Structure 1
Amino acid sequence: MKKSRLLIVLAGLAVFASGCGYSTGGEDSTVTVIEATPTPTATPTPEATPTPEVPEATPTPAQEVAQTASGVNIIKQNATYYVVEGVNVRSDCSTEAEMITGTTVGQELTSTGVSEDGQWIEVTVNGQTGYVNAQYVSTTAPAGAAAQTTAQ
């Protein structure tokens, strides 16, 4: 009798154990997935970049301006011009002004200024300041003409 009781107790335990939630993974089983949330990593705060100092602007030099006897403003600037057609060098910026000397094609003239309207070139010829009409001179020597340097 002891054996039969033991068998009954073992059978009861087997039935009881199978009903305690143990599953073999059948259709009715539920799987719960737990996703871990990662711990955020602190981002270092960047250091501020210093603003570079802006250098002071170099002032633009004012143009030097002189006035002729007749009141024409001459902007002072040095340049070299070449006579492209014979022109008279005059004492002022006018075709009515006194003639100082004449020029020849290809002659090199040393300029010391230009009228504000660009119509007259201030030149130095034989130590004298004079003016020539801009349409008769160029900053480029004429082709085939040998440049003649004016004495200063």
Structure 2
Amino acid sequence: MNRYEKVLSGTNSCLEDTFRAEQFAKTWPQVNELLIESRCFGDLISECRVQSAEYRVQSQIRPYLSGRCIYLVGMMGSGKTTVGKVLSQVLGYSFFDSDTLEEQDADGTSVAEIFKLYGEGFFRDKGIEVLLKLSLMHQLVVSTGGGAVVRPINCKYMQKGISV
């Protein structure tokens, strides 16, 4: 079994857990009803299942990452930030949005305002600075700006990690 098959087999474990829960409900319907009626307990069980699934994914994938950062690359609005937040939570990594960091570096000025006031070149230079800093760190999921790949130096920084 190669490493990808091992990682994907974790998905089967989640399905097996769901199947076991359904079997439990069929075998002990009265107990299951009591658990469902007790909303807090039901939520606790659901949370435990989610945490258990996340732990399995984390324990199977993290060794292959060796602490490297994951860079999410794509067009503006493609879902990099949304996916990045979930992925970082599942892996136990920190999440950073490079556009947000660039805005913070520009005293909270929005990306649109930075373009308007200082031009695209200034914004892309800020992007280089941000990716340089992030590339020196470990265990991060980074949502890159839509134009991150415009500058070849950014690609060099992202090569230290894994780009998706």
- Range into which the TM-score falls when normalised by the shorter chain: under 0.3
Higher relative contact order (CA 8 A, sep 6+): 2
Q: TM-score, normalised by structure 1?
A: 0.16
Structure with larger Rg: 1
Q: TM-score, normalised by structure 2?
A: 0.15
